[in-house]
Structure 1
Amino acid sequence: MRRLLADSGEPRGWVPLRADLVTALLGVWFGIGLMIDAWAHSNLTELETFFTPWHAAFYSGFAAVSGWIIWQVYRNVRLGRQGLAAVPQGYLAGLVSIPAFAVCGLADMTWHTVLGIETSIDILFSPSHLGLIVTMLLIITTPLRSAWSAPDVGVRPSLGRLFPALAGLAFAATLVSLFLSYGDALQYGSAAIVESFSDVRGPGADLLAASMAISNVVLLAPVLLVVRRWNLPFGGVTVMYTVAALMPGSQTAFENLPTLLTFVAAGLASDVLIRLLRPSGARRAAYWAFAGLSAFITWSLYIAVASVAGGGLPAVPELWTGAPVVAGLIGLALGALFLPNALPANAADAGRA
């Protein structure tokens, strides 16, 4: 064992695109399994055991993607590599997270056996669940780390080349949104949005405004990360926002479909903005403008679609006019945090090559 773990010294290489694609697709299985389990916890309050079909879908996805990651390492071991030299670029964190996830899974089974099954907000604070979500995030973002410095990605990757990375990052964002479900604006239906912004006396307006701010950050931050790294191909944000709508959709049984489809449209609008503004790490003004305008357009669409589907504009004009502006300002602030200074063009291109 010591001989196997000893580093043989060769430079670590990258897996081919098709291997990253398989990793991403198995990660999708893993992520959808979690969505099915989230639906069960949200809608089947009579759950009383750890051993359910929903957990089977979730943990089988873990087994599939874990087996594939281990296989990528084993292939290099068969070629004579040892230690870190056998681990492909971008795969180390995912590999280490596999046994950690298994330990958290055993802890989760013990927790449920002793303390029962959570069916409310307490599910989001269970220590075993938090451990599962962190390790899962590291596993499913493996294609992102693999592509981050892969020599064949280039400055302007195609959507097909970047799809595994975007899928992994998007599903990671859904994990964050799941554990911030108490502040998820994507779970609101159209009527609830209009009603919440029609009365400032109750808690509805406060909760929706806070949820919009939280969801704005969860949605936009991953996009800004990849836009800073690459010239994002058209369709990239649409892919990410479509995936982002799946988790809240699973929790609401897709009963708020107009709200969810709003974010698909918002992703398309953001792709158009990228085409027009060409934001990048070397173009700070365009990057900041994209961050602010993308958020403003997204949440303007959110209010507009809710008003059409919910029977009219909210009764408090300050809320429905000001909320998208606040979102845009938050987006601008995120842009300034992600890119406080423009990167030199040659340095940005070298980092992307």
Structure 2
Amino acid sequence: MDTGEPRDWVSPRTDLVTALLGVWFGIGLMIDAWAHTNLAGELETFFTPWHAVFYSGFAAVSGWMVWQAWRNVRAGRQGLAAVPRGYLAGLVAIPAFAAFGFADMMWHTLLGIETTVDILFSPSHLGLITTMLLIITTPLRSAWNAPDVGARPSLGRLLPALVGLAFATTLVSLFLSYGDAMQWRPARIVEAFSIMDDGGAERLATAMVISNVILLTPVLLLLRRWELPFGAMTLMYAVATLMSGAQTEFGNLPVLLAVVGGGLVGDLLIRWLRPSAARRREYWTFAGLSGFATWALYIGAASAAGGGLPAVPELWTGAPIVAGLIGLVLGVLFLPNATVPAPAGGAEAGTGGGAEAGTGGGVEKA
């Protein structure tokens, strides 16, 4: 039975706790990914310390989210009226994640432990990652149309949403890690773009395209909704490097720092261009320049730490340009038409509605 009251938003502090418990959850997965990559020969059972950290993080964030709904039930609400705005999809994902966790345990018990690329295609793992994405992005959905956020939120107010989306980005990069350019070491990057007959150039170029899309897409999504505060993109890129760093034991630190530097350049571009849903030209310009800058820094850092510039100039000069062009295409796809500002007196509502309502409304209802 649904008592019919309008659903409420939780407080920013509650969202922050949800995000921080999601960090526990996400770091547990990073530790498990590190173990599968670096201790593959030693994994013989489902019951490992790495799984303990991962599943305890799930229990912590799930318990906290269920408690938010239960508090409303105790106050007399029933049905959907008891579920805070933005929390429904995450709450639905909790029992689904538990079911996939049980399926994963049975899979490992009957079929063994995956130690190579097959780990990224296991049906139980794909179920776990999908439901985990829904859980840890709960603060983003909660903030999307929250009445106190506005079109120009502060970094502190947007922090839970940024953390949730950034860790979601790491999950995507993990399950596409066969195309993760952030795992390449500097010397290998220089070698790949210097030798044309071993397939390394093709693999690296493909990985750069995939990683560029993974990194830039969440930022473009946020820029359609908000004017991002300075530091937001740097934070997201820094978190995004953690999964790659965990898998390589941070042996490619110059490359990871270059990507974080790309986030900082992106923040400077946001401050300069002020891209938004209403400023399509600036939005497109940001998308192209940000992609170019990140991967120019990537090539530069690899060259500085890996023994000099690659031997094939077409590759090391053209790869960042390709990244910029892909960024431009993403910008056009995300914002083919500029959002018309709402009339005076309804501007704030127009930010969450109008052209954005297809995105904002759909997310917020969850």
Q: Which residue of 2 aligns with 1:22?
A: 17
- Say yes or no: does 1:197 pair with 2:197: no
In the alignment, residue 32 of structure 1 is paired with which amino acid? I
Q: Describe the superposition over 1:61-97 as per-residue Cα deviations: whole angstroms up to 9, x where unpaired.
A: 0000000000000011111110000000000000000
1:126-205 pair list within 5 angstroms: 126-205=122-201
Q: Which shows bigger deviation, 63-72 or 192-201?
A: 192-201
What is the distance in 2 between the residues matched to 1:22 and 1:39?
26
Query: Which letter does structure 1 place at the counterpart of 2:266?
Result: S
Q: 1:302 aligns with which of 283, 287, 298?
A: 298
Mapped pair 1:292 → 2:288: yes
Q: 1:103 aligned to 2:96? A: no
**SS in structure 2 opposite 1:291?**
helix
The one-letter code matched in structure 1 to 2:20 is: L
Where does residue 207 of structure 2 map in the other structure? 211
Deviation of 1:180 after TM superposition, in Å, equals: 0.2
Q: Give the corresponding residue for 2:321.
A: 325
1:175-213 alpha-carbon deviations (Å, 9 max, x no partner): 000000000000011101100000121110000000000
Q: Who is 2:51 aligned against?
A: 55
Establish whether residue 39 from structure 1 lines up as the match of residue 34 from structure 2.
yes
Output the amino acid matched with 2:27. Answer: I
Structure 2 partner of 1:90: 86
Give the superposition deviation at 1:351: 4.2
Counterpart pick for 2:75 among 75, 79, 100: 79
Does the 8 Å contact 1:149/1:351 carry over to 2?
no
SS at match of 1:255: coil
Counterpart CA distance in 1 for 2:12 and 2:335 is 29
Q: Which residue of 1 aligns with 2:119?
A: 123
Residue 360 of structure 2 corresponds to none
The aligned counterpart of 1:350 is 349
Equivalent AA in structure 2 for residue 59 of structure 1:
Y
Gaps of 5+ in 2: 353-366
The answer for the alignment partner of 1:9 in structure 2 is 4
Structure 1 Cα separation of the partners of residues 151 and 132 of structure 2 = 29
Q: What is the letter of the counterpart of residue 9 of structure 1?
A: G
Secondary structure at 1:346 match in 2: coil
Match of 2:218 in 1: 222
Contact 1:47/1:117 (<8 A) preserved: yes
How far apart, CA to CA, are the structure 2 residues paired with 1:213 and 1:189?
17
Q: Report if aligned partners of 2:69, 2:83 keep a CA contact under 8 Å in 1.
A: yes
Conserved 8 A contact 1:183-1:214: yes
Distance in 1 between residues matched to 2:338 and 2:349, nearest whole Å: 14
Q: CA deviation at 1:352?
A: 3.6
Percentage of pairs with the same residue: 74
The TM-score, its normalising length taken from structure 1, stands at: 0.97
AA aligned to 1:263 is V
Q: CA offsets per residue over residues 109-150 of structure 1, 9 Å max, x none?
A: 000000111111000000000000000000000000000000
Report the count of equivalent residues: 348
Instruction: Tell me which of 220, 235, 247 is aligned to 2:231.
Output: 235
SS where residue 171 of structure 1 aligns? Answer: helix
**Equivalent position amino acid for 2:119 in 1:** I
**4+ long deviations beyond 3 Å:** none
Distance 1:8 1:318 in 2: 65
Q: CA deviation at 1:350?
A: 2.4
C-alpha distance in structure 1 between counterparts of 2:256 and 2:190, whole Å: 16
Q: Contact (CA 8 Å) 2:19, 2:136: kept in 1 or not?
A: yes
Aligned-residue RMSD, C-alpha:
0.9
Is the contact between residue 238 and residue 265 of structure 1 (CA under 8 Å) also seen in structure 2? yes
